[in-house]
Amino acid sequence: MLTYFMNPEITVSNKLLQVMYILSGFFCIYCGVRAWFVKANKYWLPTGLFWSMLGIVVAFGQWLPPMVSGVIVCITCIPAALGMVKRGNLQAPPKEEQQKNFKKIGMKIFIPAFGAGVFSILISVFLKGWSALIGSLFATIVGVILLVIWNKENKPMTFLEEGRRFLDMTSAIYIMPLLLSCLGAIFTRAGVGDAFSTIFGKIIPSGNVYIGIVAYALGMMLFTIIMGNAFAAITVMTVGIGVPFVLALGADPLYMVTLAMTCGYCGTLITPMAANFNIVPGVYLEVKDKYSIIKMQAIPAAIMFVFQIGYMFFIASM
């Protein structure tokens, strides 16, 4: 590990990104160890195992042998698949305390939340070659400092325990985006895109870019609904449909791939597989219907999808 951080050939961006993963992993390990000590539910053993194993992979995956990482991931998935990753007994602060904190901080509480986006944009604009994800690291540090300044009662354990409570509420859904991203890479390596190209080659009339665009857009949305991740879908759909049936006919790749990605996002809005966007917020807000967010987003998603296809038609006709 020390060799990695002392290596001058590795960029500062990658080193900071690795620091963020290490801190995230340590926090997951903390949640796992606390689950074992507190024993807040009858599944305290598998719950602690889930968070501890996940923390090891997140923090040290860069240096673990692939076989070891794979075994740990399999161990992590066992309690999740068996439904044994449960919430503890950590409760939200009482209403009186929440009102008291609101009087101290007020609407300034949203400043740390906006920080991630602001820092990510600043890094993208002014630090070429740096990962925008590092914005989350800077935003978290600045957010913690601001919250301590605004409320002196915020101690290190306050952030650790409140963070653990929110992670506890998320449960095993926390790892779904990670697994889906991995699945997208596996599909690409397995040649799923080429298989799609062969199948659609028998269905889509050759030489008609507009039918190709519809197939490309629909494929992005449907595959994203299945995968829950547009980033996982874009490679497979671009290789299988975008390149042979749209880009090969002269359509501008910059516009087409970008708009296809947006079509995938329309699928993100209406799938429970995108749990970090559509399910977790409902859990945090404690809504009765966990699919209520998806239901509210369905009509805007449909409108956006139709508009994107029309925009792709317009670009293709120029």
3-state secondary structure 136-153: HHHHHHHHHHHHHHHCCC
Q: What is the mean pLDDT of residues 205-228?
A: 88
Which pLDDT score, from 0 to 100, does residue 33 have? 92
**Nearest 5°: phi and psi at 257?**
-65, -40
pLDDT(110) > 90: no
- Decide: helix, strand or coil at residue 250: coil
Which residue has tokens 């001058």?
A: 8
The answer to whether 211 and 244 have CB atoms below 8 angstroms apart is no
Percent of the chain surpassing pLDDT 70: 97
Residue found by looking up tokens 């080193």 in the block: 15
Task: Give the CA-trace dihedral at 106, 120, 167, 147, to 10 degrees.
Answer: -30
- The closest alpha carbon to 316, from 248, 231, 236, belongs to 248
Q: Which class for 254: exposed (0-12), middle (13-18), buried (19 or more C-beta within 10 A)?
A: exposed
The stretch 254-283 carries a mean pLDDT of 86
From the list 263, 250, 261, 257, the residue with the least C-alpha distance to 318 is 250
Contact (CB, 8 A) for 220 and 305: no
pLDDT band at 274 (very low <50, low <70, confident <90, very high): confident
- What's the pLDDT tens digit per position in 113-167? 888 788 888 888 888 888 888 888 888 889 889 888 888 888 888 888 888 888 8
Return d(Cα 71, Cα 164) in angstroms, integer. 25
Q: Other C-beta atoms within 10 Å of 291: how many?
A: 13
- Given a cut of 80, whether residue 303 has pLDDT beyond it is yes
* Chain segment 27-83, per-residue pLDDT in tens: 999 999 988 888 878 888 999 999 999 999 999 988 999 899 989 988 998 998 888
| Token pair 């190209």 in the structure block, residue | 197
User: What sign for the dihedral angle of Cα 276, 278, 279, 281?
Assistant: positive
**Per-residue pLDDT at 39:** 81
Looking at every residue in the chain, the average pLDDT score rounds to: 85
Torsion angles phi and psi, residue 84, rounded to 5: -110, 15
Q: Which residue has the higher pLDDT, 272 or 310?
A: 310
What was the pLDDT predicted at 111? 86
The pTM score is 0.75
Asked if residue 285 has pLDDT above 80, the reply is: no
pLDDT exceeds cutoff 80 at 177: no
Predicted confidence (pLDDT) at residue 312 exceeds the cutoff of 90: yes
Tokens representing 214? 């519809």
Lowest mean pLDDT among 7-11, 91-95, 120-124, 211-215: 91-95
Closest C-alpha to 163, from 34, 72, 21, 22: 34
Statement: residue 19 has pLDDT above 80: yes
Which of 101-105, 156-160, 217-221, 243-247 is least confident? Answer: 101-105
